[in-house]
Structure 1
Amino acid sequence: MPYSFTLPNIRKEAAALWHLAWPVLVGQLATVGMGVADVAMTGHTSAAELAAVALGTSVWSIILVTVNGTMMAINSVVAHEVGAGAFDRIPHSVRQALWKSVGVGVLAVLAANLATLLFNYLYLAPEVNARASMFVHIISIGLLPFAAYRALYGYSASINQTKPVMVIALVGLAVNILVNWLLIFGQFGLPKMGALGCAVASGTVVWLDLLAIVLWIRIAPAYRASYPFDRWEWPHWPEVWSMLKLGVPIGVTYFAEVSVFGAVSLLVARFGVVTVSAHQIALNFSALTFMVPLSFGIGMITRVGQALGEGNPQRARFASFVGLWMALGFAVLSALGIAVFRYQIAAAYTSDVAVQQMCAHLLLFAAVFQLSDAAQVAASCAIRGYKVTRGPMLIQTLAFWGVALPLGCVLGLAPQWVPFAPAEPMSATGFWIGLVLGLTVAAVLLVAYLNRLSRQRALA
């Protein structure tokens, strides 16, 4: 049936999307809150410890988000199966996604540990280099369980069960903060580990999250119709390969975005502890606000996928654009909030006055890119609901590696061989200008792609 953009229809779709998205949002905020807690709590030890967390988190985040994207294929697969009423097919898909997670997780551990070799080329103080490298070595223990957790997370969200993920994430955040407090500051006679305490806490919590979601699926009645643990199943390589073909472009898409942010963190390290710390705080808070449109996007994968599974591409198009406008509406509010309260945000993270001033300056750029960031993530998630992943991969690779990072390097580093480079390096400011423009390019192209794709499917 056709869907018109009338107020009653919009309200109905917005309510359905919000029902899916708000538990995801709380869970995502709790997950990102672990990184916020790591940075904020370490920021009250020393600038050197904060810099180690900033650099280590840059590597960890790149690998983690890439794994997350690669495992997101299960969201689209299960959503389509739910829409088609093929609940008997779901357990097989979930079991194959778990086999896929083993390979993805092992590769992620290797990649994270090898990535620490990059620190040797960043002109870091020896102490910061050693602490950042050890941070990554320790926290990488969480990558294998994270891959499996995200497979089960996607399955749960796609059958409209998002509240369990929220509860698990909130408990994980509480455990992370407690272990951070114990190990960063050496409470109750425990060793004062500083940055390394964050790594121990975060790596441990991921294992606990996996255990919790497995137990929840085993006991909750909502999973009975599609229970995936009723029998053992060996890998079915054509199915695993099919999920890889769908998931790898999503992982590359995520990598294209987050690796640019991580690369910028590594490149600004040459400008000193104050600059890299301020940059990481601004980036960390931006990631926090990003969780809202991302949560809408995860809900949109389910809404769009289920509509297509039941053979209703008109409803899929309608759901796509209602979700997009909801994401943009929040982005307007977050941009205003960041611009107005940027000094208070910086002070909440660190007591270092120099870092506060630099951070407040960078948060202005974070405010500017709220709209484009929200638009690009919502549009890309809606497109994934159509089981289309290569187009967004190419667009975001172009936007981030073809626009954001090159322009940021020119402005931030001012290489003399580039004719239009500024006379003096703009440091972190130049990189953030590049990020703003890269996100804008991604947003414009992805929204246009979504409009064309959804219209074609609706008219077919």
Structure 2
Amino acid sequence: MDENHQPIPEARQPLLQRTLSEWKTLSLLGAPILIAQLAQMANGVIDTVMAGHASAEDLAAVGIGSSLWMPLFLMFMGLLQAMQPIISGYRGSGELDRIMPVTWQGLYIAAGAAVIMITLLTQVHPVLALLEMDSHTAGITQGYLNAFSWGVPALLLMTALRGLTDGLGHTQVIMAFSVLSTLLNLPLNYIFIYGKLGLPAMGGVGCGWATSLSNGVAAIALLIYLNRSTSYRRFHLIADWCRPHLADIGYILRIGVPIGFTIFVEASMFSV
């Protein structure tokens, strides 16, 4: 195994040994991706479970709110997944100078996606009306989504930077910071939902603030890590800043939009 987690070919390697070697490589790369996915989805589950201990209305409101934001997030996550094979291809061909420009174009896409997602989540009144929710529960849902929206930029920032770390073969990086976000969400939920440390009890709305804060802390920690880690010494977000380039953005979108749309349709079926 080389420094990029790629198996080093051996002459006349038996089929079974070669297969086991490939499985080991897939496990090293894939297991952290799976854990990161579970950790990111766990926040919505944790919010719903903990809100249920506040009241039935909070449980219903947060459950519906999670069903609204999760398909949107998965759509944009799928869209930004196009960065991973692009960056991986540049790494494999030795074109390392092209990695940060693509990363910046992904960050611009993430910024645009954040604007769209925040706009949609803060204007869900028509959807709640179609669901015929009572005004009290609908108010909690909207409050939860309004609070959650403050953390959307951090969530999509981490998703875009995941294209960089996963594309370079370092899938354990996003796993670590996704788990950090989930671990922070648990105590923060307890504080905001039930009104601890002198704060007022916010119920289901507190779940949104807790998730936003945990996402923000994890995103800041990730930026600090990327700035100080020796593995990313030659990749600097600030020093390698690039202007928006429509051709590169279009290239990412051509690959990412079909992925994001497919995931959105699948996730929406479960949410509905």
TM > 0.5 between the two? Answer: yes
Letter in 1 for 2:20: R
1-structure distance, mates of 2:14, 2:82? 29
Name 1:11's counterpart in structure 2. Answer: 20
1:332-357 deviation digits (Å, cap 9, x = unpaired): xxxxxxxxxxxxxxxxxxxxxxxxxx
1:196-230 deviation digits (Å, cap 9, x = unpaired): 11100111222222212111111111113444432
Letter in 1 for 2:35: V
Name 2:215's counterpart in structure 1. Answer: 206
Deviation, 1:73, is 1.2
The structure that has the greater radius of gyration is 1
Which residue, 241, 244, 248 being the options, matches 2:250?
241
Letter in 1 for 2:165: S
Letter in 1 for 2:143: M
2-structure distance, mates of 1:112, 1:222? 37
**In 2 relative to 1, CA 66–85 (structure 1 residues): closer, same or farther, beyond 3 Å?**
same
Which residue, 112, 120, 131 being the options, matches 2:140?
131
Contact 1:63–1:111, Cα closer than 8 Å, also in 2: no
Letter in 2 for 1:51: A
Which residue, 67, 78, 82 being the options, matches 1:69?
78
Q: 1:218 aligned to 2:213?
A: no
Instruction: Describe the SS at the equivalent of 1:192.
Output: coil
1:58-87 deviation digits (Å, cap 9, x = unpaired): 111121111111111111211111221211
Which residue, 63, 66, 72 being the options, matches 1:54?
63
**In 2 relative to 1, CA 124–117 (structure 1 residues): closer, same or farther, beyond 3 Å?**
same
Instruction: Describe the SS at the equivalent of 1:89.
Output: helix
1:62-117 deviation digits (Å, cap 9, x = unpaired): 21111111111111211111221211211111112112211121112112223342
Instruction: Describe the SS at the equivalent of 1:187.
Output: coil
Instruction: Describe the SS at the equivalent of 1:232.
Output: coil
Contact 1:101–1:148, Cα closer than 8 Å, also in 2: yes
Name 1:453's counterpart in structure 2. Answer: none
Which residue, 239, 247, 268 being the options, matches 1:230?
239
Deviation, 1:5, is 9.8
Name 2:3's counterpart in structure 1. Answer: none
Name 2:152's counterpart in structure 1. Answer: 143
Contact 2:103–2:163, Cα closer than 8 Å, also in 1: no
Letter in 1 for 2:241: W
Contact 1:88–1:226, Cα closer than 8 Å, also in 2: no
Structure 1: gaps spanning 5 or more residues? 265-460
Name 1:291's counterpart in structure 2. Answer: none
1:406-446 deviation digits (Å, cap 9, x = unpaired): xxxxxxxxxxxxxxxxxxxxxxxxxxxxxxxxxxxxxxxxx
User: In proportion to residue count, which structure has more helix?
Assistant: 1
Instruction: Describe the SS at the equivalent of 2:97.
Output: coil
Letter in 1 for 2:22: E
2-structure distance, mates of 1:26, 1:255? 20
Letter in 2 for 1:173: T
Deviation, 1:4, is 10
2-structure distance, mates of 1:92, 1:52? 41
Which residue, 179, 182, 194 being the options, matches 2:191?
182
The TM-score, its normalising length taken from structure 2, stands at 0.89
Letter in 1 for 2:21: K
**More RCO (CA 8 Å, sep 6+):** 2
Deviates more, 1:31-40 or 1:240-249: 31-40
Deviation, 1:232, is 2.8
Contact 1:164–1:216, Cα closer than 8 Å, also in 2: no
Deviates more, 1:205-214 or 1:225-234: 225-234
1:264-317 deviation digits (Å, cap 9, x = unpaired): 2xxxxxxxxxxxxxxxxxxxxxxxxxxxxxxxxxxxxxxxxxxxxxxxxxxxxx
1-structure distance, mates of 2:204, 2:15? 52
Give the aligned CA root-mean-square deviation in angstroms: 2.0
Structure 2: gaps spanning 5 or more residues? 1-8
Percent identity between matched residues is 28
Name 1:28's counterpart in structure 2. Answer: 37
Deviation, 1:121, is 1.3
Matched positions, count: 262
Q: 1:172 aligned to 2:200?
A: no
Contact 1:60–1:140, Cα closer than 8 Å, also in 2: no
Instruction: Describe the SS at the equivalent of 2:262.
Output: helix
Q: 1:157 aligned to 2:195?
A: no
Letter in 1 for 2:107: L
Instruction: Describe the SS at the equivalent of 2:61.
Output: helix
